[in-house]
C-alpha cells in the first residue's frame, strides 16, 4: 500500500490533450515529416520527449513496456526537434544491439517522409565512417555498443580512467559532438563498472535518451549507469547516488522492506525528473492503451522421479561440502559453477556429463580438460602468455568477490564482462591469444559468421566468394578481436578456468590490491576445479543409461505438447534457453510453441525427444550463423513450417517478433525475471491474435525454488521503485 501511494506522482502521466503541443488538429492526423499515424499513448510520449528537451535535463528515460513503440516515438522526436540548419551539432547517434541495427534503419526510412531527405548510415563492420567530417554528413548514425567500445580504446594506465578529456586515440564517433544520442536497450549500461557504461557516459551530446523496458533489472544500482549517461545532477556522481539512493540497500539489496519511505521518495523524485513508463495494462481515458489478448503465466511445480531425486541429492550433498569451503574462501566463480550443476540436474541428468562434443560448438575438436588447455596454450603461445593468463584469471576472480561482498563500494574494474554481449562471466569465460576475455557463446557466434570486414552489403555479398582474402580468411578461421582488432583464431581460444589459481595462490592475491599485475602464479593451476569429474563419477556409480531417458520436465513437456495438439487451435512455445513449437502433424492445428531455456546444451536432449515422436523443430541460438538464425525464424513463421522453435534467452530477448506462437514452455529459470519477461513478450505483443499461455516448469525442493524466490524479490524491488503492481 505504501508503494502504491508513494508513487502516485510518478504514475501521473500526461493525457491525450498533451499531444496538442505537437500542433496536430486531432489524434488521427499525420505528424509533419512522418508517414505513420500514432496511437494516442505514442503521441503523448512524443510530446513528453519534446518537452523534456526544453528542460535543463535535455533528455530522459523512455521506459515503456516492450511493444509499445519506443523506437517509433524516438524517431518522431528526431523529426519534430531537428537541429537548426547551420548548427555545429547536427547528427543524432543511435546505439543499439547488433540485431537491431537494420531494424532501426528500416524504421527510419519507412516511417519518415522522403521530403525530409534524412541521411541514415549504419556504422559497422567494414563500412565505418573515418572522420568527424564524414559523420557530420549524416543526420542519423546507427552503431552497436560493441563498436562504441572500439571508438574508445582502453587506457593503458589506471590514472587515465575517468578522464573525460578528449583523447587523440579516440575514433571519429567518440570525437563527434552529437546533437542527440539515443541508447536502445539501455539496460546494457546498467553496470557502472563496465566499459560500455563508461564509454556511453563519455559521449558528447546536447540531448541524451535511454530507451529500455527494464530500467531496474537487479537492484537500484542498475539505475546509476543510465543516470550517469543522462548527466542528471547530482545523481550522476556515484558518491551522491550511493549516499542518497543505494547505500542503505547495499547489504540487503533485494529486501524491499529495506526500501524505506525516505529512500522510495528520493528515488521517486529522481525518476520523476526523467522517466516516462507505460505498461501494456496502462489505462488511458478509461481504456487500455494496447488492446492485446490476455497473457496467462502459470508456474507448474513438478516432482522428481525417484532416480532423479537420488541423483540430485547426491550432487547437492557433494556440492554443499565444497560450498562450505568456498564460502569461507569467498571464491565466487566456484559457487556459480556449483549452482549451475544443480540447475542442470533439474532439467536432465545428462546435461552434467560431456554429452556435447567440442566440434559441435564450431571450434576444433581438442582436449578441453584443464590439463589439455594448459598444454595446448603453452605449445601455441609460450610460457609468458601462460603467466599473463593466470594473472588475468586472478583479477577476474578478485573482482567478482569484491562485487558480491561489497568490500569496496567504489571498486571498479574493467574486463569483468564480455565485450560483445556485456554480460558478467559465469563459468563461460574464454581468453584469446591477445589476452582479451569473452563468453564462449559470443566467440562461437564470431567464428561462425563472416568476418566484420565482409559484413552484409548488397554490393559485396555476391563478390566476396571470388575475393582471395575472403577465402583465405574463411579457411584459416581468422577473425578480428572485438577489442583490439588483432587477429584471433579458433584454435587459440582457451577456457579461463584452466588457469584458475589454487586456493593458496588466491589467498596470496587477496592480500594485494585487486588489480595488482605483479602477482606471480606458482601452482600452474594444479588445483583447478574438478566439479565435472565429481558429478560424472556420481552418474557412473548410479549406472545411468546412455540412451535418452525422459526427465520429469521433459515428460511433462510431452504431455503439454499433446494437450495443445488435441485442442486444435493453439500454437505452442517452449522455453528452456529457448524453444518454440508449432505443429504440422495436424494441418488444422494453428497454435505454435515457443520453448525457452538458458542451458543451451538442453537443446540436444530436447531435439532427440522430439525426433523420437517425429515432431519437427527449428533451433535459434548463438552457435548458429546469423543467416541460419534468420532462416530458422522464416521457416517457423510459415503456416506449414516446423511446429517448434527452440530459442536461447540471450538470442531471443532482443529484436525478435514471434507472434506466430502463442504458447510458451519455459524449462529453465534465469537469475532475474526481467530477462524472461522480455523473451515472453516476443510472443505477447502487437499483432498477437490469440490468448498467450506461458507455462514455467520447476522442480520442487530444488535450487529452482530459490531462483524463483530471487526473481520475485527482484521484480518486487523494480515494481516498488516504478510504482507498479506485480501484474
pLDDT value at residue 489: 86
For 357-397, the pLDDT digits (tens) are 333 444 444 555 666 777 777 777 777 777 676 666 555 55
For 547-561, the pLDDT digits (tens) are 445 566 666 666 666
For 469-492, the pLDDT digits (tens) are 555 555 667 888 877 778 888 888
Q: Which residues contact 243 (CB under 8 A, 6 or more apart)?
A: none
Distance CA 189, CA 224 (A): 9
pLDDT value at residue 304: 83
Number of Cβ atoms within 10 Å of the Cβ of 490: 20
pLDDT value at residue 174: 92
Q: What is the mean pLDDT of the chain?
A: 72
Number of Cβ atoms within 10 Å of the Cβ of 54: 9
The three cell numbers locating residue 193: 563498472
The angle, 0 to 180 degrees and rounded to 10, between the axes of the packed helices 222-230 and 195-202 is: 20
Residue 132 burial by Cβ neighbours in a 10 Å radius (0-12, 13-18, 19+): middle
Distance CA 727, CA 707 (A): 19
Confidence tier at 142 by pLDDT (50, 70, 90): very high
Higher pLDDT, 32 or 410: 32
Residue 422 clears pLDDT 60, i.e. is over it:
yes
Helix (H), strand (E), coil (C) string for 4-17: HHHCHHHHCCCCHH
Cis amide leading into 29 (omega within 30): no
pLDDT value at residue 139: 95
3-state secondary structure of 90: coil
pLDDT value at residue 96: 93
Confidence tier at 424 by pLDDT (50, 70, 90): low
Determine which of 223-237, 504-518, 666-680 has the lowest per-residue pLDDT on average: 504-518
Determine which of 237-251, 272-286, 326-340, 711-725 has the lowest per-residue pLDDT on average: 326-340
For 313-327, the pLDDT digits (tens) are 877 777 665 555 544
Selection from 443, 692, 424, 450 nearest residue 575 by Cα: 692
pLDDT value at residue 524: 43
Higher pLDDT, 61 or 579: 61
Q: Is-contact 144 97, C-beta < 8 A?
A: yes
Residue 178 clears pLDDT 90, i.e. is over it:
yes
Q: What is the value of pTM for the model shown?
A: 0.71
Confidence tier at 46 by pLDDT (50, 70, 90): very high
Determine which of 412-426, 536-550, 688-702 has the lowest per-residue pLDDT on average: 536-550
For 70-109, the pLDDT digits (tens) are 999 999 999 999 998 888 899 999 999 887 888 899 999 9
Residue 574 clears pLDDT 70, i.e. is over it:
no
Q: Are strands 437-439 and 429-432 parallel, antiparallel or unpaired?
A: antiparallel
Q: What is the mean pLDDT of residues 174-190?
A: 94
Q: What is the mean pLDDT of residues 696-708?
A: 84
Residue 512 clears pLDDT 50, i.e. is over it:
no
Candidate ranges 146-155, 198-207, 361-370, 606-615; pick with highest mean pLDDT: 198-207
Determine which of 86-100, 259-273, 335-349 has the lowest per-residue pLDDT on average: 335-349
Higher pLDDT, 356 or 493: 493
pLDDT value at residue 185: 92
- Residue by residue, DSSP assigns 350-392 as GGGS--S-GGGGTS-----SHHHHHHHHHHHH-HHHHHHHHHH
Determine which of 181-185, 434-438, 604-608 has the lowest per-residue pLDDT on average: 604-608
Higher pLDDT, 412 or 696: 696
Q: What is the mean pLDDT of residues 124-133?
A: 85
pLDDT value at residue 2: 35
The angle, 0 to 180 degrees and rounded to 10, between the axes of the packed helices 552-567 and 602-612 is: 50
Confidence tier at 254 by pLDDT (50, 70, 90): very low
Q: Is-contact 534 352, C-beta < 8 A?
A: no
3-state secondary structure of 474: helix
Alpha helix stretches (DSSP H) within 425-484: 440-448, 468-476
Residue 640 clears pLDDT 70, i.e. is over it:
yes
- Residue by residue, DSSP assigns 305-333 as -HHHHHHHHHHHHHHHHHHHHHHHHT-HH
pLDDT value at residue 695: 87
Q: Is-contact 547 657, C-beta < 8 A?
A: no
Residue 50 clears pLDDT 80, i.e. is over it:
yes
The three cell numbers locating residue 111: 516511417
For 681-700, the pLDDT digits (tens) are 888 888 888 888 888 888 88
Q: Is-contact 138 119, C-beta < 8 A?
A: yes
Over the Cα atoms of the chain, what is R_g?
26
Q: How far apart are the first and last CA of the chain?
A: 15
Q: Which residues contact 417 (CB under 8 A, 6 or more apart)?
A: 191, 194, 195, 196, 423, 424, 425
pLDDT value at residue 438: 84
Residue 653 clears pLDDT 60, i.e. is over it:
no
Q: What is the mean pLDDT of residues 326-347?
A: 59
Residue 135 clears pLDDT 90, i.e. is over it:
yes
Q: Is-contact 230 236, C-beta < 8 A?
A: yes
Which residue in this structure is represented by grid cell 596454450?
A: 377
% of the chain surpassing 70 pLDDT: 60
Confidence tier at 716 by pLDDT (50, 70, 90): confident
Q: Which residues contact 563 (CB under 8 A, 6 or more apart)?
A: none
pLDDT value at residue 429: 78
- Residue by residue, DSSP assigns 600-643 as TTHHHHHHHHHHHTT--EEEE-TTS-HHHHHHHHHHHHSTTS-S
Q: What is the mean pLDDT of residues 240-248?
A: 78
Domains parsed from the chain with CATH numbers: 2-158+170-288 (3.40.50.10810), 295-302+551-722 (3.40.50.300), 351-541 (no CATH)
pLDDT value at residue 727: 37
Distance CA 45, CA 561 (A): 41
pLDDT value at residue 610: 76
The three cell numbers locating residue 254: 533485494
Confidence tier at 175 by pLDDT (50, 70, 90): very high
Angle at 673 between CA 680 and CA 338, to 5 degrees: 115
The three cell numbers locating residue 458: 548488397
Amino acid at each position: 500500500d505504501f508503494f502504491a501511494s508513494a508513487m502516485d506522482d510518478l504514475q501521473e502521466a500526461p493525457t491525450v490533450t498533451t499531444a496538442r503541443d505537437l500542433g496536430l488538429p486531432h489524434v488521427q492526423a499525420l505528424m509533419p515529416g512522418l508517414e505513420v499515424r500514432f496511437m494516442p499513448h505514442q503521441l503523448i510520449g512524443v510530446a513528453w520527449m519534446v518537452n523534456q528537451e526544453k528542460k535543463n535535463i535535455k533528455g530522459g528515460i523512455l521506459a515503456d513496456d516492450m511493444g509499445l513503440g519506443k523506437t517509433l516515438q524516438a524517431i518522431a522526436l528526431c523529426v519534430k526537434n531537428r537541429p537548426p540548419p547551420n548548427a555545429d551539432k547536427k547528427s543524432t547517434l543511435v546505439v543499439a544491439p547488433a540485431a537491431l541495427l537494420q531494424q532501426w534503419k528500416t524504421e527510419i526510412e519507412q516511417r519518415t517522409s522522403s521530403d525530409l531527405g534524412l541521411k541514415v548510415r549504419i556504422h559497422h563492420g567494414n563500412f565505418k565512417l573515418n572522420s568527424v567530417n564524414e559523420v557530420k554528413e549524416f543526420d542519423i548514425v546507427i552503431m552497436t555498443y560493441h563498436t562504441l567500445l572500439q571508438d574508445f580504446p582502453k587506457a593503458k594506465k589506471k590514472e587515465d580512467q575517468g578522464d573525460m578529456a578528449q583523447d587523440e586515440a579516440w575514433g571519429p564517433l567518440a570525437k563527434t559532438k552529437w546533437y542527440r544520442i539515443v541508447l536502445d536497450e539501455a539496460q546494457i549500461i546498467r553496470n557502472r563498472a563496465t566499459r560500455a557504461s563508461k564509454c556511453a557516459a563519455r559521449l558528447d551530446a546536447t540531448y541524451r535518451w535511454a530507451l529500455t523496458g527494464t530500467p531496474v533489472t537487479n537492484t537500484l544500482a542498475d539505475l546509476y549507469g543510465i543516470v550517469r549517461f543522462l548527466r542528471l545532477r547530482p545523481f550522476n556522481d556515484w558518491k551522491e547516488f550511493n549516499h542518497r539512493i543505494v547505500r542503505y540497500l547495499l547489504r540487503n539489496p533485494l529486501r524491499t522492506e529495506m526500501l524505506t519511505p525516505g529512500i522510495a521518495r528520493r528515488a521517486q523524485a529522481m525518476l520523476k525528473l526523467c522517466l516516462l513508463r507505460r505498461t501494456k495494462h496502462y489505462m488511458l481515458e478509461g481504456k487500455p492503451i494496447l488492446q492485446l489478448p490476455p497473457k496467462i503465466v502459470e508456474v507448474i511445480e513438478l516432482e522428481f522421479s525417484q532416480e532423479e531425486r537420488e541423483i540430485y541429492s547426491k550432487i547437492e550433498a557433494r556440492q554443499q561440502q565444497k560450498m562450505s569451503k568456498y564460502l569461507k574462501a569467498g571464491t565466487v566463480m566456484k559457487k556459480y559453477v556449483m549452482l549451475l550443476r544443480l540447475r542442470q540436474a533439474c532439467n536432465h541428468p545428462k546435461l552434467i556429463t560431456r554429452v556435447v562434443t567440442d566440434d559441435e560448438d564450431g571450434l576444433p575438436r581438442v582436449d578441453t580438460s584443464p590439463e589439455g588447455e594448459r598444454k595446448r596454450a603453452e605449445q601455441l603461445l609460450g610460457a609468458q602468455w601462460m603467466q599473463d593468463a593466470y594473472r588475468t584469471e586472478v583479477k577476474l576472480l578478485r573482482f567478482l568477490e569484491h562485487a558480491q561482498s561489497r568490500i569496496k563500494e567504489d571498486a571498479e574494474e574493467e574486463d569483468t564482462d564480455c565485450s560483445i554481449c556485456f554480460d558478467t562471466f559465469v563459468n563461460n569465460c574464454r581468453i584469446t591469444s591477445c589476452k582479451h576475455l569473452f563468453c564462449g557463446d559470443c566467440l562461437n557466434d564470431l567464428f561462425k559468421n563472416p568476418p566484420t570486414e565482409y559484413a552484409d552489403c548488397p554490393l559485396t555479398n555476391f563478390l566476396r566468394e571470388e575475393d582471395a582474402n575472403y577465402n583465405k580468411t574463411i579457411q584459416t578461421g581468422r577473425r578480428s578481436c572485438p577489442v583490439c582488432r588483432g587477429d584471433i583464431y579458433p584454435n587459440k581460444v582457451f577456457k579461463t578456468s584452466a588457469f584458475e589459481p589454487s586456493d593458496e595462490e588466491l589467498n596470496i592475491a587477496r592480500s594485494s590490491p585487486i588489480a595488482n599485475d605483479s602477482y606471480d602464479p606458482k601452482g600452474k593451476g594444479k588445483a583447478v576445479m574438478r566439479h565435472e569429474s565429481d558429478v560424472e563419477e556420481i552418474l557412473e556409480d548410479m549406472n545411468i543409461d546412455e540412451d535418452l531417458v525422459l526427465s520429469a520436465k521433459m515428460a511433462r513437456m510431452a504431455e503439454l505438447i499433446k494437450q495443445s495438439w488435441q485442442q486444435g487451435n493453439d500454437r505452442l512455445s517452449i522455453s528452456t534457453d529457448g524453444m518454440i513449437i508449432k505443429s504440422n502433424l495436424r494441418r488444422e492445428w494453428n497454435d505454435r510453441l515457443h520453448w525457452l531455456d538458458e542451458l543451451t546444451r538442453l537443446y540436444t536432449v530436447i531435439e532427440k525427444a522430439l525426433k523420437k515422436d517425429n515432431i519437427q523443430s527449428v533451433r535459434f541460438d548463438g552457435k548458429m550463423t546469423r543467416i541460419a538464425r534468420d532462416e530458422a525464424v522464416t521457416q517457423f513463421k510459415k503456416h506449414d513450417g516446423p511446429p517448434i522453435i527452440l530459442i536461447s534467452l540471450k538470442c531471443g530477448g532482443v529484436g525478435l517478433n514471434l507472434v506466430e506462437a502463442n504458447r510458451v514452455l519455459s524449462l529453465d529459470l534465469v537469475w532475474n525475471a526481467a530477462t524472461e519477461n522480455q523473451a515472453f513478450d516476443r510472443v505477447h505483443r502487437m499483432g498477437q491474435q490469440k490468448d498467450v499461455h506461458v507455462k514455467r516448469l520447476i522442480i520442487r525442493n530444488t535450487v529452482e525454488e530459490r531462483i524463483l524466490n530471487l526473481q520475485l524479490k527482484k521484480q518486487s524491488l523494480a515494481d516498488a521503485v516504478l510504482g507498479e503492481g506485480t501484474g
